[in-house]
A and B are shown apart, each in its own frame.
Chain A
Amino acid sequence: MSLNPSMFIPVLPQILLLALGIVILFLDVLLPREQHRYLGWVAAVGMVVIMLAILPFMPQEQFQLTWGGMVRFDWMSYTFWMLFLFGAAVTALLAMDYPELGERGSFYLLLIASTIGMMFMASAGDLVMLYLSIETVSIPLYILAGFFVRSDESTEAGFKYLLFGAMTSAILLYGFSLLYGFSGTTDLHQIVLGIVQGKVSLPLAFTSMMLVLVGLSFKVSVVPFHFWAPDVYQGAPTPVAGFLSTASKAAGFAVLIRILFIVFPILGNQWAIVLAALSVATMTLGNLVALAQRNIKRLLAYSSIAHAGYILIGVVSGFSELGMVSVVYYLVAYLMTNLAAFGIVSAFGRVAGSDDMTAYYGLSRRSPGLALAMLVAFLSLAGMPPFAGFVAKVFIFAAAVGVGQIWLAVVGVLNSIIGLYYYLTVMKYVYLYRSENDDQPVPLSGSFKLALGVLVAGIVVIGVLFSPWFNWASVAARSMFF
């Protein structure tokens, strides 16, 4: 295997990120203590620069396998890279306001490390690569979740995440090993041949698929592997929780789609049923339990569980182009929206010192702007136009109807009604209720305003001008099938 320059394109952003990490490492040492806050700017700007830097290196329509089949470079992975980079940049900005988070270079390093892992996840073409990248993502995230070492909750969250993660990792690995053991290869594109040619018997393939599904279900917090999510989100630093619920989940879906569509297309009918069942359970349970929450982070945790369920509807319909497109579109919309939601919660939670719903009483009087942003984010989560969540949901449901899964669309529709209820309830607290702190404004930093502004604008733009994004998503979706 000889090296040539074009081989570096598929790993270019990872390399650049690594360089960014090194820069931050140096700056962490060099900068005086009171200027550590600027590390956040460096990280965010750096990631945006990377996004711009890889713009000229768009993939071809046909996917490319490089590095001995380890890395698959196609539009799908490219799209996800952009998502991860964007998510990480926003997270960096949001974290800046937390002194014990944003002023420590190690936070940004871990963030970058896990982003690198995600990018490899999205472009993995080999079981080994896949597993390694998953661990590269997970380990920094375990630490990030427990980053506030002085807080019991945060420590607990980190530890819980670690335990659940380790267990499901093991299950995932077991599934991988079965696949490797019977097909004799770790290359995803070879394994599928093994299955098609009968080297791997179908029951066995099904078993290993189920094991893999369990592992990935944990990542994307699908019922019944969702238990960690509320506790971890609640305990973890809020920007980290936002990152966990968006970029990390998107990465999980990237892998899920890859494996299901590359390795197990032949079992399409089977996993469609399994995933449909999981989807129904996830949506319904997530939404119903969210109804009872009094802590905003737990509420968002359950809501993000429910959203995983909606996305699964798209995955179930994924053999139609619209299905695949809808998954990508939904992930984009969801990433924007949920980041905004967590961003607001992080900014306000820091000021209010509480994530209890009661803290949000009268927010609109304290900070009309923040309240409006929250309204946008929550309505987008609820699926109301003209925000991103609406079109995304419509595409998902349309995809389901398009492949004849009308019942699934109906279940999704009913669930979105429950969702609307609790999102609106929060908005009621914000706008209607009053607290004794009504007259105290909420101070917001410039970095936060920028991040939130970008997110809100993004939510509206994706929700109104959907043609460019849809086309992009279509290209990405098509790349799955070539």
Chain B
Amino acid sequence: MQFPLLSFIVFTPMLAGLLILLIPGERKTEIRVAALAAGAFALALSLWAYFAYDVAAGGYQFVERYNWLPALGISYYVGIDGMNAPLVLLTGVVMFTGVLISWGIDDRPREFFAFLFILATGVFGVFVALDLFMLFFFYEIAVFPMYLLISIWGWKVTREYAAMKLTLYLFIGSVIALVGALAMYFTSGLGTFDMLALEQAGFSTAFQRVVFPFVFFGFAVLGGIFPFHNWSPDGHVAAPTAVSMFHAGVLMKLGAFAALRVGIMLLPEGARFHMPWIILLTLVNVVYGAFIASVQTDFKYVIGFSSVSHMGLVAMGFATLSREGMLGAGIQMFSHGVMTALFFAVVGMVYDQAHTREIPQLGGFRKFMPVVAVAFIVGGLVSMGMPGFSGFVAEFPIFMGLWNAKPSWLWANYTWVAIIAAISIVITASYIIRIIGKVFFGQPPAEFDGHIHDVNVLDKVALVFLSTIMIAIGVFPRLIVPLVQSGVDNVLRLLGGA
């Protein structure tokens, strides 16, 4: 029997979280060290899974399957393919860096890390799940720690409201998707939740068209799709730094990924029918999100809305149902995850020192924390899709997908989508430049003198790590492209070679 790598990945955080709960609450240093060790271990395992995946062979690898409830055809069934392998790695990366930059949390760190790790288990579980029930099971596990993490350790002003809003939105989405999934289960008549079997179930066209919106939107809520996006900026802003990183970095991908795996892959005909109009929503996401981001004055809200915009591109890539679009969406999930994790880390570091996030009141952080400034600039360049960084590698194929998309019943071509969506690039560039100019290069207010200190070495390690990933992918796309490509091929096969 092969080493159960994926199970180790999934349950490492959970076990670590439980172990951390056993450490007495006062021994904060031990707690942090334990958390860091767990984070590093999970990262190492996910790196292993990522690089050990055999792209040439394709398909699902590291598969493990155990009966969970044979009576209903529920099994613990995990495996990775090209689509989720990067996301597993992303989760490992964000978890590790999240722990690094959370070193300073002083209020009940034990509970903080425990909840964070339970969340991580949920996320890992969803990404590797090949069983529909299991996917929901872990999906919900990923949702509820969020509530506590935001409401307890979040920003005092909005945390209660934002945490509740976020949790309810996501829960509503997931339960609606659950009903759709149950309908699939019964309609298939296969008596199994095995997604690979359900892919072959041959649902009728009418059924797929009816069920698809429920499943897709149920999950896409978490992916921040318009008009169900508005939990996300509030949630991002209210969350403590590591949680924002997790949230925007990984959790939103959870939604997009689940929408792909359950929505598009199981109901391809439904996807073909609905995606042509859904692409309009994603277009709104992309452009409107960028526009709203550009008029915010709160640093964190800018980033929050920029996530809405970028996740819109992911959904748009999926909505093209084309090879390039899907590929770009897959890469964008990874790239945006890393980028936004970095952004939120930076925002947190700035806020910790300045105690304000109002952009007009900030300035001069280049002098105070040069590494942070450089990291933010790298992130900013990724964000505006600057060539040479991962954002370009991701966004370019999405646009290619729009040019290449097959005619659908609604539109003859998608060129206009590409042209309109391109506006967001300019808007994004404008607000990123504005922030860089003001926050990092602007004149620091007088009261900052002597009160702002550089970040510690752990923070720097985290930032450099994240920046390196983005540059590496930007310069060497082959680190990720063939992998995602193999995953996309699988999706396209289900879509009938569309």
Contact = CB atoms under 8 A, between A and B. Distances in A.
A372 B110 CA distance: 12
A413 B140 contact: no
Nearest to B159: A432
The prevalent SS among residues of B at the interface is: helix
A466 B69 CA distance: 7
B71 A467 contact: yes
Contact of A384 (B140, B151, B164, B168): B140
A365 B25 CA distance: 10
Interface string A412-424: 0110110011001
Interface string A211-225: 000000000000000
Given A406-B183, A470-B72, A471-B71, A428 B136 contact: no
Interface string B150-169: 01100000011001100110
Nearest to A403: B186
Interface in B62-113: 67-72, 108, 110-111
Given A368-B110, A428-B164, 14 more contacts: A364-B108, A365-B108, A384-B144, A394-B182, A401-B185, A402-B186, A409-B179, A409-B182, A417-B171, A425-B164, A428-B163, A466-B69, A467-B68, A470-B71
A327 B134 CA distance: 21
A401 B186 contact: yes
Contacts of A402: 182, 186
Nearest to B214: A410
Contacts of A379: 144
A321 to B, nearest CB: 9
A416 B186 contact: no
A420 B152 contact: no
B137 interface: yes
Interface of B: 21, 25, 67-72, 108, 110-111, 133, 136-138, 140-141, 143-144, 147-148, 151-152, 159-160, 163-164, 167-168, 171-172, 175-176, 178-179, 182-183, 185-186
A398 interface: yes
Given A394-B136, A427-B148, A432-B152, A474 B179 contact: no
A398 B178 CA distance: 9
A384 B147 CA distance: 12
Q: Chain A's interface: helix, strand, loop or mixed, by majority?
A: helix
Nearest to B185: A398
Top 10 A-B pairs, shortest CB-CB distance: A401-B182, A413-B175, A385-B137, A385-B140, A384-B144, A467-B69, A398-B182, A431-B152, A402-B186, A385-B141
A474 B138 contact: no
A409 B71 CA distance: 21
Interface string A431-453: 11000000000000000000000
Interface in A148-201: none
Nearest to A404: B186
Contact of A368 (B68, B71, B111, B183): B111
A120 interface: no
Interface in A463-482: 466-467, 470-471, 474
A386 interface: yes
Contact of A390 (B69, B140, B179): B140
Nearest to A466: B69
Nearest to B148: A431
A322 B191 CA distance: 12
A320 to B, nearest CB: 10
Given A416-B175, A417-B175, A372 B21 contact: yes
Nearest to B139: A385
B133 A420 contact: no
A467 B160 CA distance: 38
Contacts of B110: 368
Contacts of B143: 384
A385 B138 contact: yes
Contacts of B171: 416-417, 420
B160 A428 contact: yes
Interface string A311-349: 000000000001000000000000000000000000000
A427 B183 contact: no
A428 B70 contact: no
Contacts of A364: 108, 111
A424 B110 CA distance: 20
A402 B73 CA distance: 14
Contacts of B68: 466-467
B24 to A, nearest CB: 10
B71 A428 contact: no
B151 A394 contact: no
Contacts of A375: 148
A385 B118 CA distance: 11
Nearest to B133: A394
Nearest to A467: B69
A397 interface: yes
Nearest to B175: A413
Contact of A397 (B25, B67, B133, B182): B182
Interface string A363-398: 011001000100100010010111000100010011
A379 B140 CA distance: 11
Most chain A CB within 10 A, of B21, B25, B151, is at: B151
A98 B159 CA distance: 38
Nearest to A425: B164
A453 to B, nearest CB: 14
A386 B17 CA distance: 14
Contacts of A382: 144
A250 B185 CA distance: 29
A365 B110 CA distance: 12
A421 B164 contact: yes
A382 B164 CA distance: 14
A364 B25 CA distance: 12
B43 to A, nearest CB: 24
Contact of B168 (A372, A386, A421, A427): A421
Given A417-B175, A428-B160, A386 B167 contact: no
B1 to A, nearest CB: 21
Contacts of B185: 398, 401
B144 A368 contact: no
Task: Pick the most buried of A385, A416, A474: most chain B CB atoms within 10 A of its CB.
Answer: A385
Contacts of B138: 385
A282 B140 CA distance: 25
A327 to B, nearest CB: 15
Contact of A424 (B25, B147, B176): B147
A379 to B, nearest CB: 6
A430 to B, nearest CB: 10
Contacts of A431: 111, 148, 151-152
B111 A467 contact: no
A116 B66 CA distance: 41
Interface in A103-141: none
Given A406-B183, A470-B71, A424 B137 contact: no
Nearest to B142: A385
A312 B389 CA distance: 56
Contacts of B69: 466-467, 470
Contacts of A406: 179, 183
Contact of B183 (A401, A466, A467): A401
A134 B478 CA distance: 72
Contacts of B21: 372
B345 to A, nearest CB: 24
B179 A427 contact: no
